[in-house]
Structure formats: structure tokens, C-alpha cells
Amino acid sequence: MDLLKAACICFIFSFFQSSCNAASYNVVSFGARPNGRTDSSQAFERAWRAACASWSSSMVYIPRGVFMTKPVVFTGPCRSRILFQIDGTLVAPPNYHDMGKSGFWILFTKVSRLTVHGGTIDAKGAKLWACRRRGSNCPPGVRSISFMWSSNVVVSGLKSLYSELIHVAISQCNNILFEHLNIIAPSRSPNTDGMVIQSSTGITIKHSVFRTGDDCIAVGPGSKNIWMENIACGPGHGISIGSLGNSLNEAGVQNVTVTNAVFTKTQNGVRIKSWARDSKSYATNVEFRNIIMRSVDNPIIIDQTYCPGNRCPRQTSGVEVSNVRYSNIKGSSTTVEAVKFECSLSNPCRGIQMRNIRLVTPNRVTTSTCENAHGWASGHVFPRSCL
């Protein structure tokens, strides 16, 4: 490792802790091979276990090179802080059957005081996408990198390519910061959500780019205090809260903010989505502000009629949507119906606020539609508010 690289890593680690006197565990020393062919998963886990057992702050170091790894699990709790520094590229095995059926490729579980910095992970999902398109007997696929039952984590500078399914999955976590992520999958790649958050609190995503075949970011049940700032989304399906209300006693979503975001040629912009069936779930205290839409199909949408496969006939959504604020949103819609609030008949949306909105469509006049939606508008709002 050259002196400049060492100094940079020291700076990152010193930001995360008070000193830079950290033990370093290079995965190559534990048997990893940077040739892109040899399975390095066991070497990665050995290096992790050594760092995890250290009484002082430590670093797991993946140097430059291409490291092939089958599914790998990094388990805590650990004795001290860990910097997981990736300077190389991690690639999936060439045969997607080698990814197994766990649903995870790279999994951090029950960890705390962790920083993951840099690097590229390439799940090489194209072969599995093709299998699904053929309707063949395909394995279920894996999430590229996941965090479960973890807290006080920073993930910075990570690039994720061609996930089989979700790029980044978060569940049962607290206080995680994601920044400077670069998430890439083709627009037609199935179920390649950029990030899915569930049952987690205090998740922040900043200064990141999402180009996917599904939601750029999806905020799922049981999530609260979610902050998204300086996000570029597109292609993809936009930023979604939901879908919510798939089960009766499902937890709700609260305190979600999206600010300073740009959506480019996405299917949706900012969306709240719930199943059209009975549920005790909810979405409340949500704010979308300072957003630019560039050729977006559905810039602003609340859809409480979600029912794929017609599995909820003659039902209405029990999800309560309230206190949702839209402000300083401008740009272009590819459809005339730029604002669509399709709320539940049995649980109408309440407290919807719109302020300073301007969404236009070339050569046509944009409209807004409201069904069972209650709220108010202020400032300049175009298309004219239906609230």
C-alpha cells in the first residue's frame, strides 16, 4: 500500500474513531487471490474473524485486484471498531447457481461501529435476468450487499454493479449512513432495486446515484427517520414508500424526507404505494422537497389500489396516509396526469400539502387528479391543485 493510500485510509478511519493505530488484516494474507477466478469467501471470513476478535480498532483490507467470492457472511458483534476498506473489485462466481439459495451475497449481520469504504461489487446478474426472461427454472437470486440487525455503520464510496436482485438491503438496523454510492443496472433488469429499507430507524442516504431496473430507493414497513439528500435517480421506478399494507398487522412508515433530488426518465418520481386490502399500516410525516423531474412518467403519485394478480378484489386499502408535504418540485412529465392522488375510499389521505409546484408536458396541459384526498395548496401550483 503506497503512502498516499495509507494516509487516505488513515484519514477515513480517524474520522470514524479517535486514532489511527489500527491493526490491519489483508485478505491476501488469509488466502484470497486477486485473479478473478479463485473463491476468496473463506479468506474474507477468516480476515473478518481476526479483526472482529481484536480488542483494538482494526481494518480488513481488500487490495487492488479482482476477487471472486461466493456468498460470504460477516457476523458480529465485534470487540471494537472495524474499517472494511475495499480497493479492489469483488465479483460473483460465473455460475449463478453457486450463489446458493440464502438470498444474500455479501451480508453484514449484528455488527456495530463499522465503516465500509470504497470498492466495486459486481454480481454479474445478466445471466440470471436472461434465465427469468426465458421462464426457465431459475434460482431465486441474491441481494448484493445486506445489513441486518446492525447499528452505527457508515458505507461510503461503494459502487454496485448488475445485482441479481436488490443492490443494497437494510433490515432491523439503526443509525446507518450511506454516502457517495454508485448503483448501476440496466433499465430492463428485473427487480434490481437500488436500495430497500425495512424495519429500520435513522437511515441516511446522501450524494448518491441510482440507475436501476426497479425502485431507486424503496422505504418499506417499519421504517422511520429516513433522510435522502442529493440523490440522482434514473433510469428506474423512482423513490417509493411501500408497497405498504400487504398484511393486516404490518408496521407503518414515518418521518421520511427526500430533498435535493433529480429524477431522469423514471417511471415514477416520488411515490407512496399501498395494497388495496385491509391493514393497520400507515405512512405519516413525509416530505418531498427541492426536486427536479426530467421526463418522468408519473412525477407525483399516491397509489392505494396496488393489487397485482387481482388478489384483493372489492377491497380498499386500510393504510392511512397523512401529513405528506410536496414543495419546490419542478420539471417535465411525459404524461398529462402529472399529479395523481388515488387514495383509499375507506381511509382517505389527509393533510396533503402542495407548495410551489410546476410540472409541464411538451405541447399539452398537465392535470392533477384526486380521489379521496384531502389537503391544501399554497404558492404557485401547476398543474392546478385538485385538493
**Mind telling me the catalytic residues?**
237
**Residue that is written with C-alpha cell 414508500 in the block:** 241
Separation of alpha carbons 374 and 69, rounded Å: 52
**Residue that is written with C-alpha cell 414497513 in the block:** 221
**Residue 77, preceding peptide bond in cis (omega within 30° of 0):** yes
Q: Would you say 280 and 245 are in contact if contact means Cβ atoms under 8 Å apart?
A: no
Separation of alpha carbons 387 and 378, rounded Å: 11
Q: Would you say 115 and 154 are in contact if contact means Cβ atoms under 8 Å apart?
A: yes
Q: How many CB atoms lie within 10 A of CB 378?
A: 11
Cell (9 digits) for 230: 442529493
Cell (9 digits) for 15: 474520522
Cell (9 digits) for 292: 427536479
Which residues on neighbouring strands pair with residue 231, listed in sequence order?
A: 208, 261
